[in-house]
Amino acid sequence: MHYRLHRSLLVAIALLLAALAGCQPTPEEWYGRGVLAIEKNDWAGAARAFAKAGRLADAQERAADALTHIETIELHLDAARSAMRQRRWYDAYVTLEHIAALDPEHRAVQTDLPRVIARLDARYAQAEQSAANDDYAHAAELYGDLGDYRSADALRSQMVARANELDALYDAMQSAADRGDWETALDRYKRLFSTAPNYRDIDRLGQRYLERTYRAAEQALSDGHDAEALRLLSALLACDGGYRSAQRLAEEARQGAGRQLVGVHPLNRVVGTDRGWTLQLDSVEVRPEGDLLVRVTVTNSTTIRNHLACLQNDDERPRFYLLAANGQRLLPTQWACQQWRQEAWTLEGGESTSFWWLFPAPPDITAPFTLSFADWGDLEVSIYRP
């Protein structure tokens, strides 16, 4: 009886094994499972399936590719975690992005990448705040840690350029102050303060420069150097129009400077040549009333006889005028042709004649102004010599 049972059991097991053998997937089915696994980013499953597909088609090659894919992800994952431990957030971000490209569903992409992005965003916000506080050097440093994340590399270049520009202005400001050139120091301070009011210690230095400029102007007035005082006070008022008694002192200096500059100031500067005539600015005379008498010489620069019309303005388009430092355009009140009662001249080659115009007093006689001589051109003039 036992013999019959044992024999029956062996037969049943044999039949079961035969049935199971008949249910095993074919190589084609294993290959198909490998393809589906790749589509699901299940690279381990793909490697197993292609391996079981045997020598069907390129199954072994695809199995090797899947294993390489897994190894690549593991290498990237090790590098990303190392970068995170060392707080190299941009390096971690780049490596995790590589993993995301290989396997978007990878656990590290779902957990570590958002944490790294949050760190980068926080540093980006710090860089923005540093730039808002005019600390462009620190902003450049922070952006430099972010690589090309959110165009941080381009922003870093902008911050470096801005920091260099402000540093150059700051150094020029301090250098001018060290040599007592308060006008230049205040000009650089004004440019710095208008664009980057929080930059380094310019507010403290600016107040110091204003005070020293004011004292220098007072000393110049006391010594009778009104023009120098006016120049200093003008620079001071350009920075702070309400500084102490600077307005009153500037008016006092302006009146004194006008008196000091009364007289003829030789210039002898060629303005230009037009239609065979060369115009030279000979001199500017400051009259006691403050008016300016401008004298020029016009020479026939050709070798033949040439015709010259009176150098005067027409009613529609003035072409002879004085442009003051404040932008005010002053037209002549008198000119040579009126006095000479002559409207034209004919001169041989090389011959010259003179002309003059009388202009109203400019607002600040010590400031440079521009004389415009029609088609001969413009010439900047400064009769004040510090």
**Tokens describing residue 284:** 């500017």
Q: What is the residue-wise DSSP string for 24-65? A: SPPHHHHHHHHHHHHHTT-HHHHHHHHHHTTTSTTHHHHHHH
Query: In sequence order, which residues have a C-beta less than 8 Å from that of residue 330 and are 6 or more positions away?
Result: 321, 322, 323, 324, 359, 360, 362
pLDDT of residue 63: 56
Which part of the chain has CATH 2.60.40? 263-381
User: What is the rounded distance in angstroms from the CA atom of residue 80 to the CA atom of residue 119?
Assistant: 14
Class of domain 177-260: mainly alpha
CA dihedral 365, 366, 372, 373 (to 10 degrees): 80
Sign of the dihedral defined by the CA atoms of residues 341, 343, 344, 350, in that order: positive
What are the helix and strand counts (H, E) for the chain?
13, 11
pLDDT of residue 17: 46
**pTM as predicted:** 0.58
Which amino acid appears at position 72 of this protein?
T
Given a contact cutoff of 8 angstroms between Cβ atoms, the answer to whether 206 and 235 are in contact is no
SS3 88: coil
SS3 291: coil
pLDDT of residue 11: 44
Query: Rounded to 5 degrees, what angle do the CA atoms 86, 89, 95 make?
Result: 100
pLDDT of residue 217: 95
Topology adopted by domain 25-121? 1.25.40
Given a contact cutoff of 8 angstroms between Cβ atoms, the answer to whether 67 and 51 are in contact is no
Tokens 């620069």 identify what position? 301
User: Which residues on neighbouring strands pair with residue 283, listed in sequence order?
Assistant: 266, 295
Q: Each residue's pLDDT tens digit in the chain (386 positions)? A: 544 445 555 545 544 444 444 467 776 776 766 667 667 766 655 556 555 656 666 656 665 565 566 667 777 787 788 888 989 898 888 888 878 877 888 888 899 999 999 999 999 999 999 999 999 999 999 999 999 999 999 999 999 999 999 999 999 999 999 999 999 999 999 999 999 999 999 999 999 999 999 999 999 999 988 888 988 998 999 999 999 999 999 989 988 887 888 999 999 999 999 999 999 999 999 998 889 999 999 999 999 999 999 999 987 788 999 999 889 999 999 999 888 888 899 999 999 999 999 999 998 887 899 999 999 999 999 987 65
User: What is the rounded distance in angstroms from the CA atom of residue 238 to the CA atom of residue 232?
Assistant: 10
Which part of the chain has CATH 1.25.40? 25-121, 177-260
User: Which residues on neighbouring strands pair with residue 359, listed in sequence order?
Assistant: 292
User: What is the rounded distance in angstroms from the CA atom of residue 228 to the CA atom of residue 221?
Assistant: 8
**Tokens describing residue 337:** 């042709």
What are the phi and psi torsion angles at 200 (to 5°)?
45, -130
**Tokens describing residue 240:** 């702070």
**Tokens describing residue 39:** 């589509």
Query: In sequence order, which residues have a C-beta less than 8 Å from that of residue 71 and are 6 or more positions away?
Result: none
CA of residue 362 relative to chain centroid, distance: 36
pLDDT of residue 199: 93
pLDDT of residue 32: 67
Q: For residue 234, which of 369, 364, 322, 382 has the smallest C-alpha distance?
A: 364
How many residues are recorded in the chain? 386
Domain range 263-381, its CATH number among 3.30.200, 2.60.40, 1.10.3470, 1.20.58: 2.60.40
